Structure 1
Amino acid sequence: MIRPAKPSDAEQVVPLIIQAMGRLANKLTNVEDGEIIKEIFTHFFKEEGNQYSYQNTLVFEEGGTILGAINAYDGAKLLELRKPFLNYLEEHHQANNNNQGTETQSGEFYLDSISVNPDSQGKGIGKQLIKAGVDWGKKLGHTNIGLLVEQENTRAFKLYQNMGFVTQNEKQFMGGLYHHMIFKIK
């Protein structure tokens, strides 16, 4: 079942967010210690008004266990949603990392992170989460659903293509090269 996330889901969802981000979690936080990264994302998942908030997350739950999650928001609000995160990092971790670039833009509902527990991959959970993300954006009045996928991640790239996403352009973000893909709602 797919449902909106709750603050109490943090313990199961935060590792999924970090898994989806990979090394970007280290770059974004300017922290190498995995436990500290987990603490940072847990703090923000439980809070409102930021890009990693439970408010911007849907989860796939089965038998009381969260097997996957998708984090998404209006691309026009990225800088506003990121500001509390950057301020916190500067205050608590002396990380002045305000020049990160932007992965999304105005005019799209952005699927920030999509992640499925490794033990549950290959069962269609990711597809269901992506469809739910597209439906969520559509319900909010968006006609473009955007995402970034690393150029080396050919498996995810093919999945998004098969679901109707097309490459709009290539994007440099935090030292990596990505396909910026768009799904147009008709």
Structure 2
Amino acid sequence: MPLTFRPAAPEDAAFAGPLIQEAIGDIGWELTGTDNDAAAAQAITELFAQPGHRMSYDVCLLAADQASGQPLGLALSYPGEQSQALDEPLRRRLREGGHPADFPSEGSPGELYLDTLAVAGAARGRGVGGGLLAALTDRAHALGLTQIGLLVAEDNPAARLYARSGYRPVGERTLAGHRYFHLQRQVSAAPE
């Protein structure tokens, strides 16, 4: 399927919010102070349109159908050393709402951290996820990073895609009460 990739904009929130929540599940509840998918998706949709945090349009790359321009998937990514700073607006929002704000930051220094990879249901199995993963190499190069990292649950079907794409386990973490594998892929230095 021919794809185009573009930076997301605030206007993409209605597409992105529910798709992000579908991908992150319980983590979305924890990050938004909600207790169900519908409320978390609504909160993420509102947050997506605001800059400066880990679920914002400004850290999002969209994959779209080349012919129609319809968004099909997305990748939220940022340098791992920015994790704390990008989580702080969410922590502040949680504290203001009277919710716990002690979730761990996920990215590791030295890597482009892939926070969320999500593909719309109708576009799954058509190369959108793989295309987004390949496009992240350019983002890593632009930032001078030679590793891309992510967290994945053992039972997540995307684990097979990550393995085929060269991601290897480097550790484990626990988030929202669930165990995740920390995977990384080395990328060559940007061509001169």
Could you say which TM-score interval applies, normalised by the shorter chain? over 0.9
Instruction: Note the C-alpha offset of 1:82.
Output: 0.8
**Corresponding residue for residue 16 of structure 2:** 13
Q: Deviations over 1:13-52 (max 9, x none)?
A: 1111111102211122231244432332122211111111
Which runs of no fewer than 5 residues in structure 2 stay unpaired?
none
Judge which range, 132-141 or 3-12, deviates more: 132-141
1:94 aligned to 2:132? no
Which runs of no fewer than 5 residues in structure 1 stay unpaired?
none
1:105 aligned to 2:108? yes
CA contact (8 A) 1:13 1:66 kept: no
Provide the C-alpha distance between the structure 1 equivalents of 2:120 and 2:34, rounded to a whole number of angstroms: 23
Which residues in structure 2 correspond to 1:52-91 (within 5 Å)?
52-62=55-65, 63-91=68-96
**One-letter amino acid of the structure 1 residue matched with residue 64 of structure 2:** E
**One-letter amino acid of the structure 1 residue matched with residue 75 of structure 2:** I
1:185 aligned to 2:187? yes
SS of the aligned residue for 1:102 comes to: coil
**One-letter amino acid of the structure 2 residue matched with residue 131 of structure 1:** A
CA contact (8 A) 1:49 1:81 kept: yes
1:142 aligned to 2:141? no
**Corresponding residue for residue 33 of structure 2:** 30
1:158 aligned to 2:169? no
1:122 aligned to 2:129? no
Match of 1:175 among 160, 177, 181: 177
Q: Deviations over 1:131-181 (max 9, x none)?
A: 11222112211011100000112x311211111111111222221111100
Instruction: Note the C-alpha offset of 1:96.
Output: 2.4
Provide the C-alpha distance between the structure 1 equivalents of 2:110 and 2:42, rounded to a whole number of angstroms: 32
Provide the C-alpha distance between the structure 2 equivalents of 1:177 and 1:47, rounded to a whole number of angstroms: 30
SS of the aligned residue for 1:181 comes to: strand
TM-score normalised by structure 2 residue count: 0.90
Judge which range, 3-12 or 171-180, deviates more: 171-180
SS of the aligned residue for 2:181 comes to: strand
Provide the C-alpha distance between the structure 2 equivalents of 1:33 and 1:145, rounded to a whole number of angstroms: 30
Q: Report the number of matched residues.
A: 183
TM-score normalised by structure 1 residue count: 0.92
